[in-house]
Amino acid sequence: MKSKPHIAIVGATGAVGIEMIKTLEKRKFPVGQLTLLASARSAGKKLKFHGKPITVRELTKDSFAGVDIALFSAGGDISREFARIAVKAGCVVVDNSSAFRQDDSVPLVVPEINAADIRRHKGIIANPNCTTAITLMALYPLHQRFGVKRIFASSYQAVSGTGAKAIEELERQVKQVVKGQPVTKEVYPHQIAFNVLPHVDSFLSTGYTKEEMKMENEGRKIMHHPKFRASVTCVRVPVYRAHSVAVSAEFVKPVSVKAALAVLRKAPGLDVVDNPAAKEYPLPLYAAEQYNCQVGRLRQDCALDNGLCFWVAGDQLLKGAALNAVQIAEELLKL
């Protein structure tokens, strides 16, 4: 890999694309050239990188000539259509969609956990689901020390995980409720303002949603733990940014709060915020726009053998998407 690679961002005008640009800049990634790609309707827009405007181009099959690394965040359909075209053009694709996550030939990577898997890529590397990534930032260090068997978890997912229109919907509905006006819905099937929806992604025949099963399926692949089990309820909450997850985990070895805290305080990309007496615990409001995830509310699980409860929060646009993708690109520079 070149020391200053040509980077392309596919879906550059979307919420994650914007964060990818900011993250490349903030982390001083050695970008030789930056190409911004999006749909025809977004082509011509200008976005700034290091203070200089870059014109967004329309994504076509010819967009990847000379590109070294392409960060994709334009949805699964676009990834399925263009990722392999990019690879044929000599590009390494870091894909933020679910299109390739369960493909055995595609590494699924959280760099703090399984960066070594990047070495076996065949042109495409997958970014995990945002809720899975945030949860594993706290769970994996504990797994290394105590051996996780299974978890029961509930997520509290911000509306920005759905996209810009969902943020607008929450803002609009809050104003409508406050003014006593009828509430209008476009993005979600029910009112999200002053409400929570136990429904993220589409339902499967089992009654779980696709989002809920990602924790088990992706967790197994990332942690190299084929017997890992996860029963999850994913919930959309009226929060603008940053996801939170309540986890009850059962381990093979006995675990204490003291021993768990010692492990978590050494974990990369994770801040321990755990002082209930001072009312200090992870909050999405403070995890937003932060690179590190936060973990707290640690306690012995009173319903599981060798069990531990904890609460983890993280910015799903960053560690759950843009930051993780840029970290993978940073790892590619080392190869």
Pairing between β-strand 229-236 and β-strand 148-157 as defined by DSSP bridges: parallel
Other C-beta atoms within 10 Å of 90: how many? 12
Catalytic residue among 91, 130, 234, 293: 130
Q: Specify whether the CB–CB gap between 95 and 89 falls below 8 A.
A: no
Structure tokens, 74: 């334009």
First and final CA of the chain: distance in angstroms? 7
Q: Calculate the CA dihedral of residues 142, 144, 146, 151 and round it to 10 degrees.
A: 60
Q: In Å, how far are 138, 159, 165, 194 from 239, measured between CA atoms?
A: 22, 6, 14, 10
Catalytic residue among 121, 243, 293, 309: 243
Structure tokens, 30: 């050695």
What are the φ/ψ torsions at residue 127 (nearest 5 degrees)? -85, 140
Q: Is 130 part of the annotated catalytic residue set?
A: yes
Active-site residues: which are they? Answer: 130, 243
